[in-house]
Amino acid sequence: MPDTLQATAIAEIQSADTLEALQVVKTKYVGKSGLITRELSMLGKLPPEERKTRGAEINVVRQGIQAVLDEREASLKRASLDAKLQSEAIDVTLPGLPLPSGGLHPITRVYDDLINIFTRLGYNTVEGPEVEEEHYNFEALNIPWYHPARELQDTFWLADGRLLRTHTSNMQVRYMVEHEPPLKMVSRGKVYRYEATDATHEAMFHQLEGLVVGEGITMSDLKGTIAEMAQGLFGAGAKVRFQPSYYPFVEPGADFSVYWQNPRGQMEGKAGKWLELGGCGMVHPNVFRAVDDLREKAGKARVYEGKTGFAFGLGPERMAMLKYGIPDIRYFYANDPKVIGQFRGELNGV
Ligand code: PHE
């Protein structure tokens, strides 16, 4: 018995080619109710004088089987480790995976371009509150409560009587209260209008406000500044046009447009077109007066009466639509990666 048992066990061990298969063989021979254990349990039935030699024989067989088992187990483990290392090997010479990088929002790009231009012209850049007091948004800008111009700008009112600013012109007032002339400032930020949205209107959009105050500032300074800005944005050939317009806080007031020739349009033989970009004008004396009143209340000197200055306000959305060929203002804030994703990567590109 023992010889054949040992021989068959070894044959089975050698042909087990996975650790699982080896486990089955192991249980079959040396497990708790395996064949070896069964042999040992039958010792009791032998005459006492045979038990000792028989027991020793069985032990030799068991140790023989166990040794082969251990060796086979070690070699199967080694093989499976080798296979794992092989399959998980890393080729360090492969190129790395590209890390998708974000990009600047088209509105941010246009703002950056604008701020660059005005910084070069010596303007100070400031930001101000979106939740504003009526006085700064309307009253001090020569728009009293009964003034029909308030209807031009349907307003989001807050329960406490404050409002979401309808334009960045509030910063003209705030800046002048804090600073004495001569001054040049631009202010960027969000503005809100309570109106239905369509391809060219949003309830929230952006503006850039500009203000210059000093001695003897004239309308031609304003025109030169707007032309400089248009050329900085759209190239040396950009043409600007001014048309009379009405804003209570300027006198005279104008709207300005840029003649824009899309390079693609040129190829298609299409003429360019005039695009209205914003409003501007000479600061109304009533605004200077209101600012001096606010300054006086704050214990500061009245320094604005008798000064002259100009102001302008424009919408980067219009510029971005023009510059990047975006047909609908709502795309800017729809968070659609298909739209915004096109602006990934290149910085300050056209
Ligand atoms: N605040 C005006 C608007 O929102 C724009 C403007 C600014 C006009 C400064 C004249 C001067 O439409």
Mean pLDDT by 10 residues, the chain (350 residues): 78 90 91 87 86 87 90 92 90 85 87 96 97 96 87 86 96 98 98 90 95 97 96 87 97 93 61 86 98 98 97 94 85 85 58
Phi, psi for residue 214 in degrees, rounded to 5: -175, -155
CA angle, residues 170, 175, 176, in degrees to nearest 5: 105
Facing residues of 206 across strands?
A: 190
Q: Which atom of ligand 1 is nearest to the CA of 278?
A: 5
Dist. CA 100 → ligand 1 center (Å):
40
Nearest atom within ligand 1 for CA of residue 313: 7
Nearest CA to ligand 1 atom 9: 312
Confidence at residue 141, expressed as pLDDT on a 0 to 100 scale: 97
> What is the pLDDT at residue 267?
54
CA 282 to centroid of ligand 1, rounded, Å = 11
Token pair listed for 341 = 């994703």
Per cent of the chain over pLDDT 90 is 56
CA–CA distance, 174 with 199 (Å, rounded to integer) = 32
Give the Cα-Cα-Cα angle 325, 328, 333 (nearest 5 degrees). 105
Cα Rg of the chain (Å, integer): 43
Number of the ligand 1 atom closest to the C-alpha atom of 168: 1
Helix axis angle, 2-15 relative to 48-87, nearest 10°? 10
pLDDT value for 348: 41
pLDDT of residue 150: 79
Instruction: Identify the residue whose C-alpha is closest to ligand 1 atom 8.
Output: 279
Cα(first)–Cα(last) distance of the chain, in Å?
91
Confidence (pLDDT) at 157:
92
Q: Is the CB of 316 under 6 A from ligand 1?
A: no
Gap from CA of 88 to ligand 1 centroid (Å): 65
pLDDT tens, residue by residue, 64-108: 899 999 999 999 999 989 999 999 998 889 888 887 777 889 999
- For a ligand 1 pocket test, name from 132, 138, 168, 169 the mutation site with the most ligand atoms within 8 angstroms of its C-beta: 169
Distance 134 CA to ligand 1 centre (A): 16
